[in-house]
């Protein structure tokens, strides 16, 4: 399957609803719902006639260093589209945007998700310890210098 990534507007009602719908379909109640009005968002669509939404991802500035460090917000792929390399494409599109934003690095976290951890390692992320952890006790924190 071929996919196209499209940047969407979290302030647009249709785009915001799509982000929330994809979030619920990917995560159910296992993760807090995202705020589409905070950050930059992309949706992956199938490149066939159906143009089915397959997943989404977001990028925000960090609270601690908003002009220097970006945060890879949530990313999710619908179960029937997993295994097609979308997570890595989502990392790359957000990394490129962070560079254009002039940020020096990007951070993110994973909790009980070996597949995402492996994708981050493949994309050049390394584990680090933030000065103020923001996740669960078992959360792993990741950083990549740009």
Give me the residue spans of the domains in the chain. 3-145
* Residue 25 pLDDT level (bands cut at 50, 70, 90): very high
List phi, psi (to 5°) of 55.
180, 180
Q: Over pLDDT 70: what percentage of the chain?
A: 100
* Tens of pLDDT, residues 118-128: 999 999 999 99
* Tens of pLDDT, residues 98-146: 999 999 999 999 999 999 999 999 999 999 999 999 999 999 999 999 9
Strands lying side by side in the sheet with 69-77: 3-8, 40-46, 53-61, 69-77, 105-110, 140-145, 126-127
The CATH fold assigned to 3-145 is Aminopeptidase (3.40.630)
* Residue 64 pLDDT level (bands cut at 50, 70, 90): confident
Q: Do the strands 3-8 and 126-127 form a parallel or antiparallel pair, or are they unpaired?
A: unpaired
**pLDDT given at position 27:** 94
* Tens of pLDDT, residues 41-50: 999 999 999 9
Running DSSP on this structure, what letter comes out for residue 34? P
């Amino acid at each position: 399957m071929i996919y196209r990534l499209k940047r969407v507007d979290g302030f647009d009602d249709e785009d915001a609803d799509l982000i929330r719908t994809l979030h619920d379909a990917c995560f159910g109640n296992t993760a807090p719902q995202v705020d589409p009005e905070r950050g930059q968002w992309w949706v992956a669509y199938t490149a066939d006639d159906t143009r089915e939404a397959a997943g989404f991802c977001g990028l925000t500035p960090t609270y601690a260093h908003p002009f220097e460090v970006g945060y890879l917000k949530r990313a999710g792929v619908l179960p029937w589209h997993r295994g097609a390399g979308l997570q890595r494409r989502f990392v790359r599109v957000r990394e490129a945007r962070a560079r254009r934003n002039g940020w020096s690095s990007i951070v993110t976290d994973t909790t009980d998700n070996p597949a995402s951890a492996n994708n981050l390692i493949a994309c050049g992320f390394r584990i680090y310890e933030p000065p103020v952890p923001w996740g669960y006790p078992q959360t792993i924190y990741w950083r990549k210098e740009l």
